[in-house]
Chains A and B, each alone.
Chain A
Amino acid sequence: MAHVAVSAIGADRPGIVAAVTGALVDRGCNLEDTTMSILRGHFAMMLVISTPAGVDAAELEAALAPAAAELDLVVAVRPIDDDVPRSPAGEEWTVSVYGADRPGIVHRVTTVLAEEGANVVDLTTRMIGDDERPVYAMFLDVTVPPGSDTGVLCGRLETLAAELGISCTAHPADADIL
């Protein structure tokens, strides 16, 4: 079964998920992995869906056009490759970053993570606080290579946090299996 990626974003209002998924179900598609959330007042959907034989991305984009027009959504549908390698395995860690907002926090933190071989598997950022003193908060789930020296990673994050005047801590996030 082939897979396509569907993205849609538009000013939040009731009925967006129902309308988009309705058009997909009508074409025999099945929703697999999705994330959907409100980002600063806009409802953003990222969906990976499986498609039946003979249904391609162009046809789905056309099928979504009425819903997109009615709800004022920006919609894109693209085929994706099924033969992607698995993300690297490793120890699960959570990284918390927060502080006064300034440009470049995400880039600088993720650059350190990449240089240390840590792979970002989930990332959420939020602006909190009031408009006069906005606080930027970012939470990442990462995997670090098995057996790597996480002391080095934590030390580099600490140094970066001091430079940027923010808080940045990492801790193991391995689940307690009960």
Chain B
Amino acid sequence: MAARPVVQLPEAVLVRPARPVERLDDEARALAIDLVDTMRSSPACVGLAAPQIGVGLRAFCVDVTGHRKARSCHGEFVLFNPEVVFAHGPIVGREGCMSVPDLTGEVARAARVVVRGLTPEGADRVLELDAFEARAVLHEIDHLDGLTFLDRVVGHDAVFRRKVYR
């Protein structure tokens, strides 16, 4: 159990829908730990989805603790098989992603969401999120549907270089 390499486009696992987690066994709990360990290994990382470490399963972790744009904050959490049960009020914000080299983009996301999923221990968990935490969770759930922020940019001129021009 340790941080794993983060895969980048054009890796196929990033662009196909992930499968539901069928059993909350030791393997699933190990995945939860690896997700958190990998997130922790990059200081700026506030969330990671299983496909980003090469695993095509519906699982992600998020922790927006201390982020200046965060309002709601549930600390560190991992959810399996998450679903969005309520979403309201799109606002545009700029996103980057460890799996998308070189680019950032303006993306409209719901400002308030309610998300439901299973904890690694198998408990049903319902989270009410807003602002940056909502954005982070919606970004991660998109990964589980084979989508990156590039699929949601608000226009051709809403994509920006993260590094130098070449």
Contacts and interface: CB of A to CB of B under 8 A. Distances in A.
Interface of A: 12, 38, 40-41, 94, 96, 98-100, 122-124, 126, 128-130, 133, 135, 137, 139-141, 166-167, 169, 171, 173, 176
B147 to A, nearest CB: 7
Contact of B165 (A38, A123, A130): A38
Given A124-B159, A129-B101, A135-B101, A41 B165 contact: yes
A122 B156 CA distance: 7
Q: Label chain B's interface by main secondary structure.
A: mixed
Given A129-B102, A137-B103, A176-B90, A167 B154 contact: no
B114 interface: no
B2 interface: no
Contacts of B8: 129
Contacts of A176: 90
Interface in B122-166: 146-148, 150-159, 161, 165-166
Nearest to B91: A176
Nearest to A161: B15
A146 to B, nearest CB: 20
A130 B156 CA distance: 22
Contacts of A173: 154-155
A53 B8 CA distance: 55
Contacts of A140: 156
Contact of A126 (B15, B103, B152, B158): B103
A124 B156 contact: yes
Looking at chain B, what size class is its interface with the partner chain? 20 to 34
A22 to B, nearest CB: 24
Given A99-B15, A140-B156, A173-B154, A133 B165 contact: no
B155 A99 contact: no
Interface of B: 8-10, 15, 90, 100-103, 146-148, 150-159, 161, 165-166
- Among B8, B10, B15, max chain A CB count under 10 A is at B10
Secondary structure type dominating chain A contacts: strand
Nearest to B165: A38
Nearest to A99: B10
Contacts of A169: 147, 151
A139 B158 CA distance: 9
A100 B9 CA distance: 8
A52 to B, nearest CB: 31
A96 to B, nearest CB: 5
Contacts of B157: 122, 124, 141
Given A38-B165, A99-B15, A133-B10, A167 B150 contact: yes
